[in-house]
Amino acid sequence: MQPMAIERRSQSYPRLSRTIFAIAICIKCASPQLALGQTADKPVAESTASSDVFYCQNRKLGYWFYCEKPKAAPKAEPQAPPPNAVSRLDAITAELRELKARAILEPTNENVTAYVRFQRAQLDRASLFSDVWQRAIWQDPDLDYTLQRPVSTLGKRQWQDARTSERNNVMQNLGRRYGLFYFFAQSCGACEVMSPIVQSVAGSWSITVRAISTDGGPSRHFPNYTVETTQRSKMGLEPKVTPAVVLWDAELRRAIPIGYGVMSADELLDRIYLLTTKEAGRDF
């Protein structure tokens, strides 16, 4: 059918829309190769391109057709993760060491100045950290260790008075369950200093003392002594060190070594108090 005949027929049917007319024209203007049944890839691509030109350029159909294919969004390049705090601190330390080594090996004015400036910057950083640390402790009682063990003069005095009162309460009843083994030697000079201390502590708190001479010699502070046979080895004590003080738990039938050598009376009381009432890690 000729184009003029199609146009006359469209005029004879006034209800035929312009859209149908455009489709008829498109079909007529299609590629002759497709009409002949050719299926090669290249003619099909050329026909598609000519159709795009017909609709998008010649007819200018506007927003009813997507004449420009949307461009794919560019793929974002993977970003390297930022360095963590440990890596940053290691880098600062390495830089400081490098500047220091350079200033020592090549002590020019520039190298020494660079090292001093960098070191000063890190000192300022450390001072800031220390200041923030102290402020955080002041504002959070769970972080303030001085509440458990004061460091100020007034706080230490109050803490020590409370500690002494608690220790004395424990020592008043200690003799009901515990006794002391005291190992000494006549030839031991330290034993001459330690013997009266042990005697005084035991007498003040009504603790029974069993004095044992390791060399068979007497003691003027403990006239009722006994000579050692195998007592220290049974208790697992160092056999050659005197004086030695051991607390004996009569209820559990076990020995608790208190210490070796010379101790003050106050230190001896503290050790007995801690070993009988405090678990490890509860008082530090």
- 3-state SS, residue 275: helix
Q: Read off the pLDDT band of 56 (50, 70, 90).
A: low
Residue 261 has pLDDT above 70, yes or no: yes
Q: How many helices (H) and strands (E) does the chain have?
A: 10, 5
Spatial distance between the Cα atoms of 225 and 216, rounded to a whole number of angstroms: 9
Residue 70 has pLDDT above 70, yes or no: no
Residue pair 132/151 in contact by the 8 Å Cβ criterion: no
Spatial distance between the Cα atoms of 8 and 22, rounded to a whole number of angstroms: 14
Residue 198 has pLDDT above 80, yes or no: yes
> Both tokens of residue 263?
């101790």
* Alpha-carbon 163 to chain mean position: 33
Q: What is the DSSP letter of 13?
A: -
Higher pLDDT, 181 or 24: 181
Cβ neighbourhood burial of 67 (10 Å; 0-12, 13-18, 19+): middle
pLDDT score recorded for residue 34: 41
Which residue, 58, 30, 25, is CA-closest to 44?
Answer: 30
Q: How many CB atoms lie within 10 A of CB 253?
A: 7
**Average pLDDT over the chain, rounded to an integer:** 81
Spatial distance between the Cα atoms of 172 and 212, rounded to a whole number of angstroms: 25
Residue pair 55/65 in contact by the 8 Å Cβ criterion: yes
User: Which stretch of 57-61, 244-248, 261-265, 274-278 has the lowest confidence by average pLDDT?
Assistant: 57-61
For 275-279, which contacts have Cβ atoms below 8 Å and span 24 or more sequence positions?
275/247, 276/170, 276/174, 276/178, 276/247, 277/170
> What is the secondary structure of 54-84 as a DSSP string?
IIIIIS--GGGS--SPPPPPPPPPPPPPPP-
Residue 13 has pLDDT above 80, yes or no: no
Q: How many CB atoms lie within 10 A of CB 212?
A: 21
Spatial distance between the Cα atoms of 37 and 19, rounded to a whole number of angstroms: 26
Spatial distance between the Cα atoms of 113 and 99, rounded to a whole number of angstroms: 10
Which residue, 188, 176, 184, is CA-closest to 248?
Answer: 176
